[in-house]
């Protein structure tokens, strides 16, 4: 039997760190096979093929970000009920979330697949890379159900305090993805489409493994016929939490699409540099994102247990972990960015290598701002205040649009490099007071509940 784990007592820092490490390893694996995808495409298919993969990165984030945000939101009531030890309601949330995921993922896959060409035209995708970008985007969207279910099932397992199991499934998936990349691209000659097929298939395998494991190994998830019945009131509650989280990612991605569209207009060389830099940046951002996800579960469980003071202690502990990591990664990226660029780009492409390194130098300088963003946003979401987190996404979107519309036409690629950092600053300006408000509100609610219990 698999072991669930409560985080409602004990020292916060080791609990968060131990929970975050498997998440980190899993995210690093996920980004590693994105790196391998891009490296294989860039090395074996050329700069245009690499640019065609990168040309749709923001659109993929728009759609998959919405799916992943919904999945994370669906996991929050599960974590809260687990923290409160209300296992019956917890199982019903799990059952309803799986039904919602089935409907939502298929609808999203159909709509986005039909709109691929229109989306790429709106993004000013260069004609030289349009066809490959279209096939890559189409296959990715067809595979949305695989991505949706893997992230939902992983979110449910993590809500029970088990962050290790999804890592092992992802490890298998990553190795499978790398093998399939080589087979599809080198053996079958499927080009960029082969890289997309390998990724979608690998995620589907991960989803199946998570589902099989979850219901066989967690006794507290074994349902009765009554638990499996669709309950509209629970569906509404899940959607009320999940959809704002999904929209937060999507709204953030709208700004990213604007920024990428502005960059696409600068030419194929800038698109290739942007693609390489984003892959590297996302790899080094993984620990910050993983720390945030850990804080969502930590916050959700302690909210359910009525212990808001632990949420504040958890935020401080997470900040210590974050700053320690950022200090190390800053040294790495400031000294080795051009070497990382060579993973994707031939040594003769001096301008693209320089632009890749420039993007990374600017980004890593603002990683402390990004780290704070991840900690506060996920903590707020874990406490159930997903609409507040949504507004931080709006702040990011506004910042990226302003950079795209005003700064990029004036300063070109330099402005593109500052697009994300500007968005992070805007988001933190909203999240810091938002977290203070949420924390004070939670303390007031718990104080009131304790007073009522004492007087009863």
What is the full DSSP assignment across 321-335? HHHHHHHHHHHHHHH
Dig out the tokens for 430 from the structure.
Answer: 């909203």
**Burial category of 121 from C-beta neighbours within 10 Å (exposed 0-12, middle 13-18, buried 19 and up):** exposed
Dig out the tokens for 366 from the structure.
Answer: 């603002």
Where does the pLDDT of residue 209 fall: very low under 50, low under 70, confident under 90, or very high at 90 and above? confident
CB 386 within 8 A of CB 248: yes
Distance CA 76, CA 3 (A): 19
Q: What is the DSSP string of 339-401?
A: HHHTTTS-TT-HHHHHHHHHHHHHHHHTHHHHHHHHHHHHHHHHTT-HHHHHHHHHHHHHHHH
| Average predicted confidence (pLDDT) for the chain | 82
Q: Give, as one character, the DSSP assignment of residue 265.
A: T
Dig out the tokens for 245 from the structure.
Answer: 């989280």
Going 210 to 247 to 379 to 366, the CA torsion angle's sign is positive
Reference 375, options 308, 303, 309, 435; nearest CA is 435
Q: What is each CA distance from 72 to 113, 216, 389, in whole angstroms?
A: 24, 22, 13
Distance CA 84, CA 220 (A): 14
**pLDDT at residue 424 in the model:** 93
Going 225 to 95 to 4 to 240, the CA torsion angle's sign is negative
Q: Give, as one character, the DSSP assignment of residue 85.
A: T
Distance CA 41, CA 45 (A): 5
Reference 256, options 361, 396, 414; nearest CA is 396
Going 190 to 195 to 200 to 203, the CA torsion angle's sign is positive
User: Which of the residue ranges 115-124, 386-395, 425-434 has the most confident prediction, judged by mean pLDDT?
Assistant: 425-434
54-98 confidence digits (pLDDT tens): 666 667 777 877 888 888 788 888 877 887 788 888 888 888 998
Distance CA 52, CA 437 (A): 44
Query: In this predicted structure, which of 125-129, 130-134, 414-418, 425-429 has the lowest mean pLDDT?
Result: 125-129
**pLDDT at residue 32 in the model:** 67
Distance CA 168, CA 443 (A): 38
Reference 262, options 274, 277, 252, 250; nearest CA is 274
**pLDDT at residue 1 in the model:** 43
Q: Give, as one character, the DSSP assignment of residue 405.
A: I
**pLDDT at residue 421 in the model:** 92
| Maximum CA extent, the chain | 77
The neighbour count for residue 258, using CB atoms within 10 Å, is: 21
**Burial category of 425 from C-beta neighbours within 10 Å (exposed 0-12, middle 13-18, buried 19 and up):** middle
User: Which of the residue ranges 24-38, 113-127, 277-291 has the most confident prediction, judged by mean pLDDT?
Assistant: 277-291
330-344 confidence digits (pLDDT tens): 999 999 988 888 877
Task: Name 201's Cβ contacts closer than 8 Å, sequence gap at least 6.
Answer: 143, 146, 176, 177, 180
Q: What angle do CA 240, 114, 136 make, to 5 degrees?
A: 95
Going 106 to 160 to 389 to 236, the CA torsion angle's sign is positive
176-201 confidence digits (pLDDT tens): 888 887 888 878 878 778 878 888 88
Where does the pLDDT of residue 361 fall: very low under 50, low under 70, confident under 90, or very high at 90 and above? very high
**pLDDT at residue 425 in the model:** 94
């Amino acid at each position: 039997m698999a072991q669930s784990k409560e985080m409602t007592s004990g020292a916060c820092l080791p609990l968060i760190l131990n929970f975050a490490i498997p998440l980190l390893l899993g995210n690093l694996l996920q980004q590693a096979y994105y790196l391998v995808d891009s490296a294989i495409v860039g090395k074996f298919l050329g700069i245009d093929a690499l640019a065609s993969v990168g040309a749709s990165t923001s659109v993929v984030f728009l759609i998959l970000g919405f799916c992943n945000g919904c999945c994370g939101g669906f996991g929050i009531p599960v974590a809260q009920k687990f923290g409160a030890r209300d296992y019956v309601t917890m199982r019903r949330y799990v059952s309803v979330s799986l039904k919602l995921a089935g409907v939502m993922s298929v609808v999203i896959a159909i709509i986005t697949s039909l709109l691929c060409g229109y989306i790429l035209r709106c993004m000013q995708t260069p004609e030289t890379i349009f066809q490959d970008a279209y096939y890559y985007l189409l296959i990715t969207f067809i595979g949305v159900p695989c991505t949706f279910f893997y992230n939902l099932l992983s979110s449910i397992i993590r809500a029970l305090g088990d962050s290790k199991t999804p890592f092992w499934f992802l490890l298998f998936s990553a190795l499978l993805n790398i093998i399939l990349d080589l087979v599809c691209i080198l053996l079958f000659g499927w080009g960029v489409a082969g890289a997309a097929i390998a990724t979608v298939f690998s995620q589907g395998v991960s989803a199946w493994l998570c589902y099989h494991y979850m219901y066989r190994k967690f006794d507290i998830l074994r349902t009765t016929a009554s638990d499996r019945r669709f309950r509209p009131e629970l569906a509404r509650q899940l959607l009320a939490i999940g959809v704002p989280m999904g929209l937060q990612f999507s709204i953030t991605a709208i700004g990213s699409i604007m920024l990428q569209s502005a960059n696409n207009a600068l030419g194929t060389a800038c698109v290739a540099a942007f693609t390489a830099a984003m892959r590297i940046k996302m790899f080094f951002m993984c620990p910050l994102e993983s720390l945030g996800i850990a804080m969502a579960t930590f916050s959700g469980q302690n909210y359910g247990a009525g212990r808001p003071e632990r949420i504040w202690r958890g935020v401080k502990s997470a900040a210590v972990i974050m700053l320690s990591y950022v200090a190390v990664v800053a040294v790495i990226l400031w000294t080795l960015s051009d070497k990382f660029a060579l993973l994707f780009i031939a040594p003769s492409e001096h301008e693209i290598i320089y632009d890749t390194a420039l993007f990374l130098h600017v980004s890593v300088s603002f990683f402390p701002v990004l780290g704070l963003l991840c900690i506060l946003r996920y903590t707020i979401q874990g406490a159930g205040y997903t609409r507040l987190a949504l507004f931080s996404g709006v702040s990011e979107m506004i910042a990226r649009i302003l950079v795209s519309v005003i700064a990029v036409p004036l300063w070109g690629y330099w402005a593109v490099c500052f697009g994300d950092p500007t968005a992070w600053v805007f988001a933190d300006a909203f999240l810091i007071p938002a977290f203070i408000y949420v924390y004070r509100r939670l303390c007031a609610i718990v104080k009131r509940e304790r007073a009522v219990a004492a007087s009863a």
